[in-house]
Amino acid sequence: MSSTLFAVAADTDDRLRATLLAHVDRIRAGRALPPLVRYCHHAATRTAGPHRVAVAVESYAELAQQLSEIAAGTADRVPAEVTTRRPGLVFVFAGQGAQWHGMGRELLATEPVFREALYRCDRQVREFADFSVVDQLRLDPPASRTDEIQVLQPTMVSLQIALTALWRSWGVTPDAVVGHSMGEIAAAHTAGALSLRDAALIACRRSALLRRIVGKGALATTELSPAQAHAVADASAGRITVAGENSPRSTVLAGDADSLAALVEDLSRQDVYCRVISGTVASHSHYVDELRVDLHGSLRSLTPTPTRLPMYSTVTAEPVPGTALGAPYWMRNLREPVRLAAAIGNLSDAGHEVFVEVSAHPVLLSPVRQTLERGGRSGWLLSTGRRHAERRSALSSLGTLYACGREPNWAALVPRVAEPTITPYQAAVLEAARRPRPVPARVATSH
């Protein structure tokens, strides 16, 4: 059964608890219950107030159980004061690493807005590449080519853009955006700086060029702090460089395979986590320098425009003007270290407290949490997709956003029933049937 979102609100906590218990009683009585999705829609649109509860469920039994736990105070809730002040919301677009076989299929089957947006992306990608995004998502290994970087990255960017369209249809728009490496493409499109065609162009050209350096270097993720990572790089005589600073205790290193293998062994002896990332290339390092001229040439036609909402760059860690996102910027995006930790810190300093990762599976929520904790801040960290639970994951996050003061488009959460199609002849017959019929004249009869 597909997941649906149940939500209720009240003006006081006592009234909210009473409402929850009333729903539990009705559900357990089990008399004349409508389809679950209709029941949830009715509940969400009939209540209001700062004291809010929302849960994603798949059955009445699950709904009754969850509401009972919340009413008993055994489940976490967002405080009412958070609802009232409606904290700033950031969309965080992941880079490579969130992919899994089967991603996107559930939403393709259940969400028309997601499906339509993905097909729009598919048409743009096919202008610059020799594959269909939708086809690749539907294929299983070994037929799928999503292990090829020039297929994977445009597919992931398309998926992120379609997920953003789904969020918008549900009434959720971010106050700011940030992207990790490849994720900056979808972030720039969401911010309004790139057309869909330009986003597809960057994703396809960038990833196609990266094929040239496959095997020339590798990336490793570590639990070293940025300072420790730079010390390792400085001691390597140029064989290792810092490719990313994800959090105060999470960094990415680039280097040749032998140097990284030796580093993994050395750090393991010190009980420090370090792992070479399979299936990647040594982006954000000197290995991409040979691509500079060709990348500039292939992106010469870009026409970026001013952003409609702030985009925090993970190249500079600061808000970046949309008009600055021409070809030179995308070379910096590919060459310079990813400064996610600094960008998240600046977003937090600007008052943003809610971070929604836009990806097929969360890979950045832990670094974001670590960054906030180091700064002595808290926040709400939400996923958009999870392996084998795409719709439920998104709906659960929508429920938290509702509790944080966002107002969903409840009508968009009710499955639409397609209008029946009729032929012109049938339409004419129906129209004729609607016309008032003349009253027949009385006929005199003899007796």
pLDDT of residue 427: 42
The DSSP letter of residue 336 is S
10, 118: one domain: no
Establish if 266 belongs to a structural domain.
yes
308, 447: one domain: no
CATH number at residue 231: 3.30.70.250
69, 209: one domain: no
Q: Whole domain around residue 250: which residue ranges?
A: 218-277
118, 162: one domain: yes
Establish if 269 belongs to a structural domain.
yes
CA–CA separation, 256 vs 250, rounded Å? 20
Establish if 82 belongs to a structural domain.
no
Establish if 414 belongs to a structural domain.
yes
Give mean pLDDT, residues 325-345. 98
pLDDT of residue 317: 98
pLDDT tens, residue by residue, 191-206: 999 999 999 999 999 9
Domains in the chain, number: 3
pLDDT range class, residue 278, cuts 50, 70, 90: confident
Residue type at 133 in one-letter notation: V
Q: For the whole model, what pTM was predicted?
A: 0.91
Exposure class string for 131-158: b at 16+ Cβ within 10 A, else e: bbbbebbeeeeeebbbebbbbbbbbbbb
Establish if 155 belongs to a structural domain.
yes
Q: Which among 277, 299, 318 is the end of a domain?
A: 277
pLDDT range class, residue 277, cuts 50, 70, 90: confident
pLDDT tens, residue by residue, 386-430: 999 999 999 999 999 999 999 999 999 986 533 334 444 334 433
Q: Which among 247, 277, 307 is the end of a domain?
A: 277
CA–CA separation, 141 vs 119, rounded Å? 22
202, 327: one domain: yes
pLDDT of residue 417: 37
188, 271: one domain: no
Pair 346, 368: CB distance under 8 Å: no
CA–CA separation, 20 vs 51, rounded Å? 12
Establish if 356 belongs to a structural domain.
yes
Establish if 83 belongs to a structural domain.
no
pLDDT of residue 151: 97
Which has more pLDDT, 76 or 332? 332
pLDDT tens, residue by residue, 124-157: 999 999 999 999 999 999 999 999 999 999 999 9
